[in-house]
Amino acid sequence: MIKIVTDIRGMQEQCDTLRKKGKTLVLIPTMGYLHDGHLSLIREGRKRGDFLVVSIFVNPTQFGPREDFKAYPRDLKRDVELIKPEKVDAVFYPDAQEIYGHGFQTSVRLSKLPKYLCGRSRPIHFTGVATIVAKLFNIVRPHVALFGQKDFQQLLVIRQMVKDLNFDIEIVGVPTVREPEGLAMSSRNAYLTAEQRPAAQSLFQSLEEAKKQVLSGETDAAKIIQSASERIRAYMEAVIDYIIVCDPETLEPMEHITKPALMALAVKIGNTRLIDNMMLLPESGADPNPGR
């Protein structure tokens, strides 16, 4: 039976006891409303340690004032039923008061990586992400933590934070899990209506077309971005936040694709903000697989 822990002290004491016994601890941070993408993280995490913790916490500090914090889907009972077959040892399920308490005033802020991609339109987001993940690392003290490559910028931010702050934790990136039509798995997909799904699927279609263009010899990032933009804007309900081709380690924009590049995009379909990304590999380039 999965143990649900709601208090920090209880989670710390359990994990400290296991560490002293020489057990390897694995953490998978989530905001709940789990799907097959999360299950892929859980299954990979199960292979990497003795005690597997899934945290479920909808973190208020990474949502802007006009974003969907209150509407974000929550269903603990559903989540626990979904992960029961996966041999999760504990679910850490604190509330905001337990995590932040009265008078909380400390945050973790990165200076460069959040300036790109989602950070441009969500200026507080990655400070909230880095802060909550740092807190979870200090509570669970895992040896290994897993994150999905769909949130590629988040993965880079966490890797950089771990390096900069000397956390002794292995960060593992797990490939994006997709629906049959290619749409990247996301808890926010639940917001999409049946009529909006073709527009949502255009994100993956644009990435696939970009991959083909690069393999055919196209190196001009602007032309690839223009092609993707035209495909997505063909749907009236789609509003592009950004489409960018960038360096997969620094996220700095690239004008010419002469080495492996990351194409990333964020698009609002109606009121639902979706993100996706894909590596673009010129014929002469090898995949550096930076998510691993």
**Contacts with 255 (C-beta within 8 Å, 6 or more apart), sequence order:** 220, 221, 222
CB-side neighbour CA atoms (13 Å) of 176:
21
Whether 38 is a known active-site residue: answer: yes
Q: Which of 175, 254, 249 is nearest to 214 (CA)?
A: 254
What HEC string does 157-171 produce?
HHHHHHHHCCCCCEE
CA distance 42 to 179: 18
Count Cβ atoms below 10 Å from residue 122 Cβ, excluding itself.
Answer: 19
Q: Which of 110, 114, 152 is nearest to 263 (CA)?
A: 152
Residue at token pair 């560490």: 19
Of 38, 125, 143, 256, which is the active-site residue? Answer: 38
Is the separation of the CB atoms in 276 and 118 below 8 Å? no
- Buried b / exposed e across 203-213, counting CB within 10 Å, b at 16+? bbbbbeebbeb
CA distance 101 to 168: 26
Q: Which are the catalytic amino acids?
A: 38
